[in-house]
Amino acid sequence: MSSALLDPTHAAALDAADPLAAFRAEFLFPNGPNGQPVAYFCGNSLGLQPKATRAALDAELTNWAELAVEGHFHGTAPWMHSHGPLAEASAPVVGALPHEVVIMNGLSVNLHLLLVSFYRPAGARYKVLMEGGAFPSDQYAIETQARLHGLDPDDAIVELVPRPGEHTLRTEDIAVKIAELGDSLATVLLGGLNYYTGQVFDMAAITAAGHAVGATVGFDLAHAAGNVPLHLHDWDVDFACWCTYKYLNSGPGGIAGAYIHERFANRPDLLRLAGWWGQEPAERFQMKKGFRPTPGADGWLLSNSPVLLLAPLRASLDLVARAGGMATLRAKSEPLTAYLESLIRALNLPADQLEIITPADPAQRGCQLSVLVHQRGRELFDYLAARGVVADWREPNVIRLSPVPLYNSFEDVRRAGAAMHDFFAAG
């Protein structure tokens, strides 16, 4: 391997020139087997804990202790209105207007709630287009939504698969499939960034293709939110949902987000599953019959907000904003991931031994690289772990590494590259 790339002074120079370098100190890193902080590349699964999280939680516990029920109306951030500011802070992360965003529930719950409104099979228009091998929760959600409508999932669900010999989908193939399905297509639902390959889809083009045949188009942004800049409103996307514990560092099982385009803001006729928190605020406490949804995404709220889940998200979104938002994070993310890519390529291994299945085009990927290791994959993964490099393993043979611009350094990436080099040099 080229020694220049692996030279610690090279990584140190890149870190010295990194305007976001100071944000690393805002996070808590676990220690690895050698007692030193790990090189953490698992932000695609669970983001690290910001140091501000504990204080944010503690402030709400204090409000509860000192105010009890009055905390709904008084205190640092009255609980009655606590979800509103979170939607405002989340909107720029996904490229939406504040009233197009609601922070609530878990991701899979939100996906179901949105499908109730936006997957409305009728007559010959009943098919759903999704990725083959989509994240299991998405597969099960669509499967059971089809059943909810009395449809056979095997008939209703159409899966996109890469061309033979390829690992990722081509936009033109997705568009052709959409056109082919035409009047039979009710909804397109894709992961905005595929969790396995790391591929980012051309959401604007796919949305336009779906709309051209009269289908609704939505995205699961679990791996995209907080990772790549998104422009849901401008892309004309109908609906989307995301979790916040991956790239938005809100903590395990953190509260999720949902987006609904503003053209549906004043559509009380749009079917949904309702709860009292989605009721017109003026009528919410009148306790009378008849659901009248709040305009905008808030009209999909069911329950009053889990304040202890909102507090950590508020703390982590503050960090994203202080860092300058998604464009600034992306400006570091591209070279950070490119550095990891060049270190892996410098291993000079044949494709039948190791290959990166994530697209090489930066526009088609976020921070994650998925490395398909045909031989000794599990051995390599365990070796990385023993060296304090935390990656993640996906059966049957993929190692995912996600350098996160908010807290990973170029030195972290160098450590991962050096460990891989040593593994293969040892034979």
Ligand X SMILES: *Cc1c(COP(=O)(O)O)cnc(C)c1O
In terms of CB distance, is 38 or 107 closer to ligand X? 107
- The least CB distance from residue 69 to ligand X, in Å, is 30
End-to-end CA distance of the chain: 14
> Which backbone phi and psi does 56 adopt, to 5 degrees?
-65, -40
Q: Is 409 annotated as a binding residue?
A: no
Which conformational region is residue 409 in: left (phi greater than 0), alpha (psi within -120 to 50 degrees), or beta?
Answer: beta
In terms of CB distance, is 106 or 306 closer to ligand X? 106
Q: Is 220 annotated as a binding residue?
A: yes
Compute how many residues bind ligand X; rule: CB under 6 A: 12
Q: Does 191 bind ligand X (CB under 6 A)?
A: yes
Binding mask 224-263 for ligand X (x = CB under 6 A): -------------------x--------------------
Q: Which of 135, 235, 339, 410 binds ligand X (CB under 6 A)?
A: 135
Q: Does 130 bind ligand X (CB under 6 A)?
A: no
Q: Is 234 annotated as a binding residue?
A: no
Q: Does 138 bind ligand X (CB under 6 A)?
A: yes
Which among 279, 250, 314 is positioned nearest to 87, based on CA atoms? Answer: 314
Q: Which residues contact 278 (CB under 8 A, 6 or more apart)?
A: 272, 291, 293, 294, 298, 299, 300, 301, 302
Q: Which of 62-70, 219-227, 329-337, 383-391 is the region at the interface with ligand X (rule: CB under 6 A)? A: 219-227
Q: Is 90 annotated as a binding residue?
A: no
Residue found by looking up tokens 């597969």 in the block: 139
Q: Which of residues 376-405 bind ligand X (CB under 6 A)?
A: none
Q: Which of 112-120, 134-142, 152-160, 369-377 is the region at the interface with ligand X (rule: CB under 6 A)? A: 134-142
In terms of CB distance, is 222 or 317 closer to ligand X? 222
Spatial separation of the C-alpha atoms in residues 296 and 261, rounded to whole Å = 8
Pairing of strands 216-220, 185-191: parallel
Q: Which of 162-170, 216-224, 266-274, 416-424 is the region at the interface with ligand X (rule: CB under 6 A)? A: 216-224
Q: Which of residues 90-119 bind ligand X (CB under 6 A)?
A: 106-108
Q: Is 403 annotated as a binding residue?
A: no
* Type of residue at 329: L
Which among 186, 133, 141, 182 is positioned nearest to 160, based on CA atoms? Answer: 133
In terms of CB distance, is 37 or 106 closer to ligand X? 106
> Which backbone phi and psi does 4 adopt, to 5 degrees?
-60, -45
Q: Is 250 annotated as a binding residue?
A: no
HSE-up of 242 (CA within 13 Å, CB side)?
34
Q: Does 220 bind ligand X (CB under 6 A)?
A: yes
Q: Is 422 annotated as a binding residue?
A: no
Q: Exposed (0-12), middle (13-18) or buried (19+): which is 361, by Cβ within 10 Å?
A: exposed
Q: Does 223 bind ligand X (CB under 6 A)?
A: yes
Q: Which residues contact 302 (CB under 8 A, 6 or more apart)?
A: 104, 105, 113, 273, 274, 275, 276, 277, 278
Q: Is 196 annotated as a binding residue?
A: no
In terms of CB distance, is 189 or 419 closer to ligand X? 189
Give 270's DSSP letter: S
In terms of CB distance, is 191 or 251 closer to ligand X? 191
Q: Is 108 annotated as a binding residue?
A: yes
In terms of CB distance, is 222 or 320 closer to ligand X? 222
Spatial separation of the C-alpha atoms in residues 334 and 374, rounded to whole Å = 26
- The least CB distance from residue 200 to ligand X, in Å, is 13
Q: Does 222 bind ligand X (CB under 6 A)?
A: yes
Q: Is 245 annotated as a binding residue?
A: yes
Q: Which of 63-71, 90-98, 131-139, 199-207 is the region at the interface with ligand X (rule: CB under 6 A)? A: 131-139
Q: Is 137 annotated as a binding residue?
A: yes
Count CB neighbours of 101 within 10 A.
29
- The least CB distance from residue 283 to ligand X, in Å, is 31
Count CB neighbours of 399 within 10 A.
21
Q: Is residue 272 a contact partner of residue 300, using CB atoms and an 8 Å limit?
A: yes
In terms of CB distance, is 195 or 259 closer to ligand X? 195
Q: Is residue 245 a contact partner of residue 253, using CB atoms and an 8 Å limit?
A: yes
Spatial separation of the C-alpha atoms in residues 181 and 214, rounded to whole Å = 11
Spatial separation of the C-alpha atoms in residues 204 and 174, rounded to whole Å = 12
Q: Is residue 266 a contact partner of residue 114, using CB atoms and an 8 Å limit?
A: no
- The least CB distance from residue 65 to ligand X, in Å, is 30
As annotated, the binding site includes 107-108, 135-138, 220, 223, 245, 276, 304
Please report, as ranges, the residues that interact with ligand X according to CB under 6 A: 106-108, 135, 137-138, 191, 195, 220, 222-223, 243
Binding site for pyridoxal 5'-phosphate: which residues?
107-108, 135-138, 220, 223, 245, 276, 304
